[in-house]
Structure 1
Amino acid sequence: MNKVQLIRRIAAELNASQTSIKPVVEQILQQIHIALSEGEKIFLPQFGTFELRYHLAKTGRNPQTGEAIEIDGYNQPRFKASTTFKLQINR
Protein backbone atom coordinates (compact mmCIF):
# COMPACT_ATOMS: atom_id res chain seq x y z
CA MET A 1 0.00 0.00 0.00
CA ASN A 2 1.32 3.43 -0.88
CA LYS A 3 0.29 6.86 0.42
CA VAL A 4 -2.41 7.41 -2.24
CA GLN A 5 -3.98 4.04 -1.47
CA LEU A 6 -3.89 4.82 2.25
CA ILE A 7 -5.66 8.14 1.67
CA ARG A 8 -8.31 6.41 -0.47
CA ARG A 9 -8.92 3.76 2.16
CA ILE A 10 -9.22 6.28 5.02
CA ALA A 11 -11.55 8.45 2.94
CA ALA A 12 -13.77 5.44 2.18
CA GLU A 13 -13.86 4.37 5.85
CA LEU A 14 -14.80 7.87 7.04
CA ASN A 15 -17.15 8.68 4.15
CA ALA A 16 -15.03 11.74 3.43
CA SER A 17 -13.37 13.16 0.34
CA GLN A 18 -9.79 12.27 -0.49
CA THR A 19 -8.95 15.98 -0.71
CA SER A 20 -10.00 16.48 2.92
CA ILE A 21 -8.02 13.44 4.14
CA LYS A 22 -4.77 14.11 2.22
CA PRO A 23 -3.65 17.13 4.32
CA VAL A 24 -4.29 15.18 7.54
CA VAL A 25 -2.13 12.26 6.40
CA GLU A 26 0.56 14.67 5.17
CA GLN A 27 0.54 16.50 8.51
CA ILE A 28 0.86 13.26 10.49
CA LEU A 29 3.88 12.19 8.43
CA GLN A 30 5.44 15.64 8.67
CA GLN A 31 5.05 15.71 12.45
CA ILE A 32 6.73 12.29 12.71
CA HIS A 33 9.65 13.61 10.61
CA ILE A 34 9.96 16.76 12.71
CA ALA A 35 9.81 14.91 16.02
CA LEU A 36 12.46 12.39 14.94
CA SER A 37 14.73 15.11 13.57
CA GLU A 38 14.52 16.80 17.00
CA GLY A 39 15.49 13.54 18.69
CA GLU A 40 12.07 12.81 20.14
CA LYS A 41 10.65 9.32 20.58
CA ILE A 42 7.11 8.83 19.23
CA PHE A 43 4.95 6.33 21.08
CA LEU A 44 1.57 5.39 19.59
CA PRO A 45 -0.29 3.02 21.93
CA GLN A 46 -1.46 -0.21 20.30
CA PHE A 47 0.66 0.59 17.21
CA GLY A 48 4.32 1.05 18.09
CA THR A 49 7.26 3.35 18.68
CA PHE A 50 9.32 5.43 16.27
CA GLU A 51 12.78 6.39 17.48
CA LEU A 52 16.31 7.16 16.32
CA ARG A 53 19.19 4.81 16.84
CA TYR A 54 22.66 6.31 16.67
CA HIS A 55 25.36 4.26 14.98
CA LEU A 56 28.89 5.11 16.15
CA ALA A 57 31.64 6.25 13.82
CA LYS A 58 33.89 3.44 12.66
CA THR A 59 36.90 2.74 10.50
CA GLY A 60 36.31 1.00 7.18
CA ARG A 61 38.40 0.07 4.18
CA ASN A 62 38.23 1.23 0.59
CA PRO A 63 37.77 -2.09 -1.28
CA GLN A 64 39.75 -0.89 -4.33
CA THR A 65 42.81 0.47 -2.55
CA GLY A 66 42.63 -1.12 0.88
CA GLU A 67 43.08 2.33 2.39
CA ALA A 68 41.53 2.89 5.83
CA ILE A 69 38.70 5.45 5.81
CA GLU A 70 36.69 6.96 8.63
CA ILE A 71 32.92 6.37 8.41
CA ASP A 72 30.95 9.04 10.28
CA GLY A 73 28.34 8.16 12.86
CA TYR A 74 24.72 8.55 11.82
CA ASN A 75 21.14 8.35 13.05
CA GLN A 76 18.91 5.56 11.76
CA PRO A 77 15.12 5.79 12.18
CA ARG A 78 13.59 2.69 13.72
CA PHE A 79 10.05 1.42 14.23
CA LYS A 80 9.20 -1.16 16.86
CA ALA A 81 5.71 -2.63 16.67
CA SER A 82 3.72 -2.96 19.89
CA THR A 83 2.68 -6.34 21.21
CA THR A 84 -0.98 -5.55 20.48
CA PHE A 85 -0.14 -4.70 16.87
CA LYS A 86 1.89 -7.89 16.46
CA LEU A 87 -0.97 -9.99 17.80
CA GLN A 88 -3.47 -8.34 15.45
CA ILE A 89 -1.44 -9.02 12.32
CA ASN A 90 -0.63 -12.61 13.33
CA ARG A 91 -4.19 -13.82 13.82
Structure 2
Amino acid sequence: MAGKTLTRADLAEAVHRDVGLTRQESADMVQAVFQTLSDTLASGDSVKLSSFGSFQLRDKTGRVGRNPKTGEEVPIDPRRVLVFKPSQVLKDQIDKALSKKS
Protein backbone atom coordinates (compact mmCIF):
# COMPACT_ATOMS: atom_id res chain seq x y z
CA MET A 1 0.00 0.00 0.00
CA ALA A 2 2.95 2.32 -0.41
CA GLY A 3 1.84 5.82 -1.36
CA LYS A 4 -1.83 5.06 -0.72
CA THR A 5 -4.00 6.24 2.13
CA LEU A 6 -5.97 3.58 3.98
CA THR A 7 -9.64 4.56 4.01
CA ARG A 8 -12.72 3.46 5.90
CA ALA A 9 -13.88 1.69 2.72
CA ASP A 10 -10.55 -0.19 2.58
CA LEU A 11 -11.03 -1.34 6.16
CA ALA A 12 -14.59 -2.46 5.45
CA GLU A 13 -13.39 -4.36 2.37
CA ALA A 14 -10.68 -6.08 4.42
CA VAL A 15 -13.27 -7.16 7.01
CA HIS A 16 -15.51 -8.42 4.20
CA ARG A 17 -12.65 -10.38 2.64
CA ASP A 18 -11.07 -11.77 5.83
CA VAL A 19 -14.11 -12.34 8.06
CA GLY A 20 -16.71 -13.13 5.44
CA LEU A 21 -19.40 -10.66 6.45
CA THR A 22 -21.40 -8.95 3.74
CA ARG A 23 -20.06 -5.63 2.50
CA GLN A 24 -22.84 -3.75 4.31
CA GLU A 25 -22.25 -5.64 7.58
CA SER A 26 -18.52 -4.97 7.26
CA ALA A 27 -19.08 -1.26 6.68
CA ASP A 28 -21.48 -1.15 9.65
CA MET A 29 -18.92 -2.91 11.87
CA VAL A 30 -16.14 -0.49 10.93
CA GLN A 31 -18.51 2.43 11.53
CA ALA A 32 -19.48 1.02 14.95
CA VAL A 33 -15.82 0.69 15.98
CA PHE A 34 -15.03 4.27 14.97
CA GLN A 35 -18.18 5.55 16.66
CA THR A 36 -17.24 3.79 19.89
CA LEU A 37 -13.71 5.24 19.75
CA SER A 38 -15.07 8.73 19.07
CA ASP A 39 -17.69 8.53 21.82
CA THR A 40 -15.14 7.30 24.35
CA LEU A 41 -12.67 10.07 23.51
CA ALA A 42 -15.43 12.70 23.49
CA SER A 43 -16.39 11.65 27.01
CA GLY A 44 -12.82 12.41 28.13
CA ASP A 45 -11.60 8.82 28.50
CA SER A 46 -8.50 7.33 26.88
CA VAL A 47 -8.55 4.45 24.40
CA LYS A 48 -5.87 1.76 24.52
CA LEU A 49 -5.65 -0.81 21.72
CA SER A 50 -3.33 -3.64 22.70
CA SER A 51 -0.37 -4.10 20.33
CA PHE A 52 -1.37 -0.95 18.46
CA GLY A 53 -1.26 2.11 20.71
CA SER A 54 -3.26 4.50 22.81
CA PHE A 55 -5.26 7.64 22.16
CA GLN A 56 -5.31 10.23 24.94
CA LEU A 57 -6.67 13.72 25.41
CA ARG A 58 -4.27 16.31 26.74
CA ASP A 59 -5.03 19.79 27.94
CA LYS A 60 -2.67 22.44 26.61
CA THR A 61 -2.38 25.69 28.50
CA GLY A 62 -2.78 29.08 26.91
CA ARG A 63 0.38 30.78 25.78
CA VAL A 64 1.71 33.62 23.69
CA GLY A 65 2.74 32.73 20.14
CA ARG A 66 4.11 34.78 17.28
CA ASN A 67 2.85 35.37 13.78
CA PRO A 68 5.82 34.13 11.70
CA LYS A 69 5.28 36.76 8.97
CA THR A 70 4.92 39.85 11.12
CA GLY A 71 6.52 38.77 14.39
CA GLU A 72 3.41 40.08 16.18
CA GLU A 73 2.58 38.35 19.47
CA VAL A 74 -0.71 36.49 19.37
CA PRO A 75 -2.46 34.83 22.34
CA ILE A 76 -3.13 31.11 21.86
CA ASP A 77 -6.14 29.91 23.84
CA PRO A 78 -6.00 26.82 26.05
CA ARG A 79 -7.28 23.77 24.23
CA ARG A 80 -7.64 20.04 24.38
CA VAL A 81 -5.71 17.94 21.85
CA LEU A 82 -5.83 14.30 20.85
CA VAL A 83 -2.51 12.47 21.09
CA PHE A 84 -1.67 9.02 19.70
CA LYS A 85 1.16 7.04 21.24
CA PRO A 86 2.09 3.91 19.26
CA SER A 87 2.86 0.71 21.16
CA GLN A 88 6.32 -0.83 21.08
CA VAL A 89 4.88 -3.73 19.05
CA LEU A 90 3.66 -1.31 16.36
CA LYS A 91 6.95 0.58 16.36
CA ASP A 92 8.86 -2.68 15.91
CA GLN A 93 6.59 -3.77 13.04
CA ILE A 94 7.09 -0.45 11.26
CA ASP A 95 10.86 -0.50 11.78
CA LYS A 96 11.01 -4.08 10.47
CA ALA A 97 8.94 -3.22 7.38
CA LEU A 98 10.99 -0.11 6.64
CA SER A 99 14.31 -1.92 7.04
CA LYS A 100 13.19 -4.51 4.43
CA LYS A 101 12.62 -1.70 1.90
CA SER A 102 16.13 -0.32 2.31
Q: TM-score range by the shorter chain?
A: 0.7 to 0.9
Q: Indicate the percent of aligned positions where both proteins have the same amino acid.
A: 24
> Quick one: which of 41, 45, 52 aligns to 1:40?
45
Quick one: distance in 2 between partners of 1:80 and 1:65? 33
1:49 correspondence with 2:50: no
Residue 60 of structure 1 corresponds to: 65
Could you tell me which runs of 5 or more consecutive residues in structure 1 were left unpaired when the two chains were aligned: none
Who is 2:16 aligned against?
Answer: 11
- CA drift of 1:22 comes to 1.1
Aligned-pair distance for 1:89? 2.6
**CA drift at 1:40:** 0.5
Correspondences of 1:14-25 after superposition (within 5 Å): 14-25=19-30
TM value normalised by structure 2: 0.75
Q: How many residues align?
A: 90
- SS in structure 1 at match of 2:51: coil
Root-mean-square deviation (CA, aligned residues, Å) is 1.9
